[in-house]
Amino acid sequence: MLPVTRRLLAMLAATVLLGACASGPGAPGTLTVPRASEVAPGVYMLQGASGEVDVGNLGRIGNAGFVVGETGVVAIDTGTSHRHGMLLLAAIKAVTDKPVRLALVTHTRQEFLFGATAYREQGIEVAMHRKTAGLMKARCETCLKRLTATLGAEEMRGSAVVVPDRLFDQGHTLHDIGRPLRVMYFGHSSGPGDIAVLDEQSGVLFAGGLLDERRIPDVQDAELRGWQQALVQLSELPLTAVVPGHGPLARPAVVGAVAAYLRQLESRLIELATAGAALSEVPDATVLPAFRSWDQYDSIHRRNASIVFVRVEREQMLKQQ
């Protein structure tokens, strides 16, 4: 672990100057350091904005967090851009002088990945599941180009697809900071390499892509049956709180809420496929009233409906052969 660089100190100083003129945490160009919320002793959450990526929120829609142990800190997810990653590091620095030993990426979504360059710049190792790294390598250069087109070259300056320092294939326990953290991998679930991180001392779960709070989960990379099985295992844990991938801090009941959404989504699309519905009819026909108030119901939910419908139709055709 290297000492804090002059660049990070300069960015902290810039925060004082720019914070007063920023209209809020998502104001374009703001360098305001996000405030870390302590959700349990030594366990912190950095909440992202609502909505989808746009210039108003600077793409900073994913949650991040960190756990402080006796000998250091593990950071969980790294933010949308190099600039965002620097600000997350500054937020950690505002809480503790202990060194960040590791940055752990939970899954392959742009709002969790591209800040890793800032951690690397500080000499902090970046770790992720091997399948997450493979998916990132396959498609995230394209993601980065699109994100730069949306947010602008200045906002994304210094951002890049990193090669992780540590890869793993199975769940395991981290002992980097004198406080055990359980890295949980369930196989292909919400994504091929998606993990959750449990601080067993407090019972707080960092859920990554497995759980969002009152936000429609994205099924693009999911295997629904594997996801449901993973949620069953999560429901059996003695959780006290959940830091979701998106949305505010959640109670353990979020596990059941996300499971209910996935069940109802698949059930409705099986009904539509069996009735011979056309794909063009599916988004409007997949009405799930219990989840209408969730963030991104009018966008991600409609996309989910089309994705799952195509998969259901394919399964039904294979059974008929």
pLDDT for 276 equals 95
CA distance 22 to 38: 24
CA distance 110 to 59: 9
pLDDT for 252 equals 98
Measuring CA to CA, which residue among 180, 181, 183 is closest to residue 171?
183
pLDDT for 317 equals 86
Q: Answer whether 106's CB lies under 8 Å from 194's CB.
A: yes
Q: Which residues contact 258 (CB under 8 A, 6 or more apart)?
A: 210, 211, 212, 217, 231
Q: What is the pLDDT of residues 270-286, one digit of tens each?
A: 999 999 999 999 999 99
pTM over 0.95: no
| Total Cβ atoms within 10 A of residue 203 | 16
CA distance 269 to 261: 12
The 8-class DSSP code of residue 295 comes to B
Query: Which stretches of the chain score pLDDT less than 70?
Result: 1-30
pLDDT for 30 equals 56
CA distance 321 to 317: 7
Q: What is the pLDDT of residues 159-212, one digit of tens each?
A: 999 999 999 999 999 999 999 999 999 999 999 999 999 999 999 999 999 999
Query: What token pair was written down for 31?
Result: 């360098």
